[in-house]
Structure 1
Amino acid sequence: MDEDERLMRGRVYGADHEDPDPGPRAGHAYRELVAGPLDGLLLDVTGWSAAELADGAALPTEIGAHGAGGRACYGPRPGDPSRWDWEGDVP
């Protein structure tokens, strides 16, 4: 694991890079993103409905296969919905 990967682990997806505490916040619900370009980041799903949680998410990212404007798709892992597996990138 390189230095950039170590810095991203434990960070919340979408947290400002200048935030001195980019980690999880008390009272929030998170899903761990596994594999793909956002591996190791936490996604804040506070307030998401059961249907939204079951659907997963296509998250904007500049580091996926499609660069700026692309999205990384993640969905709940069968048997462990606290972890969302990478399902591929879309433009």
Structure 2
Amino acid sequence: MNGDDEQLLRGRVYGHDHDDPGPRPDRRYAELVGGPLDGLLLDITDRAGEAPATGVPLRTELGRFGTGGRAVYTPRPGDPTRFDWTGDTP
């Protein structure tokens, strides 16, 4: 992925089509920080304040394991609006 690809991902919602208008005002989002999904937003509306202790594995073809792999993001301590990349998993 190059710098142009990274710019295309910024501000987009993970799992939504590239034609989607982006974040919606009635939803809550966390920014994905680092790793292959850096800059994407993760919809956390349905989590209602609960943060997973072990992280969230998100499907991506951009990670170390390619197609079928997952990038793992964990809520940043003290800032539930940012999830940090902790690695990739098959």
Same fold (TM over 0.5): yes
Aligned residues with identical type, % of pairs = 59
Q: Could you tell me the TM-score, scaled by structure 2's length?
A: 0.88
Give the superposition deviation at 1:46.
1.3
- Tell me the residue number matched to 1:60: 59
Q: How many residues are matched?
A: 88
Give the superposition deviation at 1:54.
3.0
Q: What CA distance in whole angstroms lies between the structure 1 residues aligned with 2:44 and 2:79?
A: 15
- Tell me the residue number matched to 1:71: 70
Give the superposition deviation at 1:48.
1.5
2:23 pairs with 1:24: yes
Give the superposition deviation at 1:26.
1.3
Q: What CA distance in whole angstroms lies between the structure 2 residues aligned with 1:2 and 1:88?
A: 21
AA matched with 2:52: A
- Cα RMSD of the aligned pairs, angstroms, is 1.5
Q: What CA distance in whole angstroms lies between the structure 2 residues aligned with 1:20 and 1:42?
A: 13
Structure 1: gaps of 5 or more residues: none
Runs of 4+ in 1 over 6 A off after TM superposition: none
Q: Could you tell me the TM-score, scaled by structure 1's length?
A: 0.87
